[in-house]
């Protein structure tokens, strides 16, 4: 399957029916699985055999779709989670515990910033946030002996900053830790972070992957490239026996599948953020059209960005597809086929004009969501990033008080632009 190109993988990867089997991905709506003997079940519990025993750990429908995303990313193993938040939580918790430290980009989703700086901090995991545009020396200075990973977003939500993935990978690897990249906005159709040195990829599948605003979900994918045993002292959870699994050693016993096996066997078992099989089915259906939709999102967003860039009532705009954008060169390198449909801009008149403009839109939905088929708009400073103080957190995470996040959908772009035109006329 992996010899096929992205558009084909979107449709076929992860589930190929055999003779007489259903064409559609089956929804295996069950909590549990029957076995002939307790001995056989015992082997499953000991991870001696692979097989399903309880949907909190694994379910076939979920696994078909995890395999589809894994193929698209070019990884070796993956798992679905119930949300993008759960995916990022697991991505980090799978590597560290109380007393450890993580370095993360400041240009990340507000929910992730809260997860790291508030909730995970309470668990005793410390975070240092770094400007992703800083040079390697400055980034390196944030690392400590107990640092266990570096984290960034391919295209930041909502600032639209593009990550220099190779630079981040070099810095992470120089410190003997993996690079985790949240690839939600670019999707594997427009960027495959593993090809640039990232070790682990996360997704909020809630966005473009599912694509229709119907299903919250997440994914965690491993490249299989990070050598845990070469840094055994840093990652005892992967390289020493797991007493809760009769002494299994993930790195030694599962090789390239170590990271995902541990996330399944420990984190899903104990924290249980599994998606419903029905949600996995809907996600799989969405992914079938991912390549087509991304092409249209990017085409439409480019036209909208050019329109806004030339409008006298637009004070600034950030879209890496524009030639004079700060991130244009990085986008040309990492996102040659297009970035995504999300752009941010600020109208003349600041915060007040931004909310007035937003309230005047008729076609675009005002929602706490981005990256689905319908055009939508949000003012992060009064919603998703509301918990952040204006200075310095808001600015540090790339959210100016007048920033409007516009997620350009797949409608006829002329209707999207006409909607913006009538709204801009009212400010
Ligand atoms: C939305 C989002 C998340 C959180 O995902 P949920 O599915 O809403 O839990 C994480 N990262 C990025 C980049 C996102 O856009």
> Is residue 153 lining ligand 1, measured as CB closer than 6 Å?
yes
Distance CA 197, CA 31 (A): 38
| Distance spanning both ends of the chain, measured CA to CA | 53
> Is residue 384 lining ligand 1, measured as CB closer than 6 Å?
no
Under 8 Å between Cβ of 289 and 11: no
Q: What is the pLDDT of residue 397?
A: 60
Among candidates 111, 27, 23, which has minimal Cα distance to 385?
A: 111
> Is residue 151 lining ligand 1, measured as CB closer than 6 Å?
no
The number of CA neighbours under 13 Å toward the Cβ of 379 is 17
Measured by CA distance, the residue closest to atom 4 of ligand 1 is 84
Distance CA 208, CA 11 (A): 15
Among candidates 327, 338, 345, 270, which has minimal Cα distance to 298?
A: 338
Q: What is the pLDDT of residue 369?
A: 83
pTM: 0.96
Domain boundaries defined on the chain: 6-285, 291-424
Q: What is the pLDDT of residue 394?
A: 65
Distance CA 146, CA 97 (A): 10
> Is residue 157 lining ligand 1, measured as CB closer than 6 Å?
yes
Q: 320 C-alpha to center of ligand 1: Å?
A: 20
Q: 243 C-alpha to center of ligand 1: Å?
A: 33
> Is residue 111 lining ligand 1, measured as CB closer than 6 Å?
yes
Other Cβ atoms less than 10 A from the Cβ of 26: the count is: 14
Under 8 Å between Cβ of 202 and 95: no
Q: What is the pLDDT of residue 45?
A: 79
Take residue 117 and report the two structure tokens written for it. 């700086």
Under 8 Å between Cβ of 262 and 250: yes
**DSSP secondary structure letters along 186-197:** THHHH--GGGGT
Under 8 Å between Cβ of 385 and 106: no
Q: What is the pLDDT of residue 51?
A: 86
Q: 207 C-alpha to center of ligand 1: Å?
A: 8
Under 8 Å between Cβ of 103 and 34: no
Q: Which atom of ligand 1 is nearest to the CA of 218?
A: 7
Q: Right CATH number for 6-285 from 3.40.640.10, 3.30.365.10, 3.30.413.10, 3.40.120.10? A: 3.40.640.10
Q: State the 10-residue block means of pLDDT for the chain, 427 residues long.
A: 90 96 97 91 82 93 98 98 98 98 95 96 98 98 98 93 98 98 98 98 98 97 98 97 90 96 96 98 98 98 98 96 97 97 95 93 90 93 70 67 94 98 96
> Is residue 420 lining ligand 1, measured as CB closer than 6 Å?
no
> Is residue 85 lining ligand 1, measured as CB closer than 6 Å?
yes
Q: What is the pLDDT of residue 245?
A: 84
> Is residue 410 lining ligand 1, measured as CB closer than 6 Å?
no
Under 8 Å between Cβ of 203 and 183: yes
Q: Decide if 6-285 and 291-424 have a common fold.
A: no
> Is residue 206 lining ligand 1, measured as CB closer than 6 Å?
yes
Measured by CA distance, the residue closest to atom 6 of ligand 1 is 84
Give the architecture-level CATH label for domain 291-424: Alpha-Beta Complex (3.90)
User: Crossing angle for the helix pair 60-73 and 277-288, nearest 10 degrees?
Assistant: 30
């Amino acid at each position: 399957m992996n010899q096929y190109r992205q558009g084909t993988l979107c449709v076929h990867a992860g589930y190929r029916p055999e003779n007489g089997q259903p064409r559609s991905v089956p929804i295996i709506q069950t909590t549990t699985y029957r076995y002939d003997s307790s001995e056989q079940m015992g082997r499953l519990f000991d991870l001696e055999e692979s097989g399903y025993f309880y949907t909190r750990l694994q379910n076939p429908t979920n696994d078909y779709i995890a395999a589809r995303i894994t193929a698209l990313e070019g990884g070796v193993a993956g798992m679905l989670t119930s949300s993008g938040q759960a995916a990022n939580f697991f991505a980090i918790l799978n590597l560290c515990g109380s007393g450890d430290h993580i370095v993360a980009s400041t240009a990340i989703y507000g929910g992730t910033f809260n997860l790291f700086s508030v909730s995970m901090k309470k668990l005793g995991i410390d975070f240092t946030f770094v400007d992703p545009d800083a040079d390697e020396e400055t980034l390196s200075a944030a690392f400590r002996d107990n640092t266990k990973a570096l984290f960034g977003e391919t295209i930041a939500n909502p600032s639209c900053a593009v990550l220099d993935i190779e630079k981040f990978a070099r810095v992470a690897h120089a410190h003997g830790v993996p690079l985790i990249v949240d690839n939600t906005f670019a999707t594997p159709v427009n960027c495959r972070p593993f090809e640039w040195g990232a070790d682990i990829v996360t997704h909020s599948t809630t966005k473009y992957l599912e694509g229709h605003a119907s299903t919250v979900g997440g994914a965690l994918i491993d490249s299989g490239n990070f050598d845990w045993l070469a840094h055994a002292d840093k990652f005892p959870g992967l390289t020493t026996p797991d007493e809760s699994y009769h002494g299994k050693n993930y790195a030694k016993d599962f090789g390239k599948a170590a990271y995902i096996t541990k996330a399944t066997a420990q984190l899903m078992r104990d924290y249980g953020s599994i998606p419903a099989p029905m949600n996995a089915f809907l996600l799989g259906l969405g992914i079938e059209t991912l390549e087509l939709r991304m092409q249209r999102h990017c085409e439409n967003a480019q036209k909208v960005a050019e329109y806004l860039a030339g409008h006298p009532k637009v004070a600034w705009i950030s879209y890496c597809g524009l030639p004079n954008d700060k991130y244009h060169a990085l986008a040309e390198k990492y996102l040659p086929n297009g970035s995504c449909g999300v752009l941010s801009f600020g109208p003349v008149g600041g915060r007040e004009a931004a909310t007035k403009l937003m309230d005047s839109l008729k076609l675009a939905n005002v929602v706490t969501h981005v990256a689905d088929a319908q055009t939508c708009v949000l003012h992060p400073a009064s919603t998703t990033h509301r918990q952040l103080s204006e200075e310095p957190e808001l600015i540090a995470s790339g959210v100016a008080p007048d920033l409007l996040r516009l997620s350009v959908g797949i409608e006829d772009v002329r209707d999207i632009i006409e909607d913006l035109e009538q709204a801009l006329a009212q400010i």
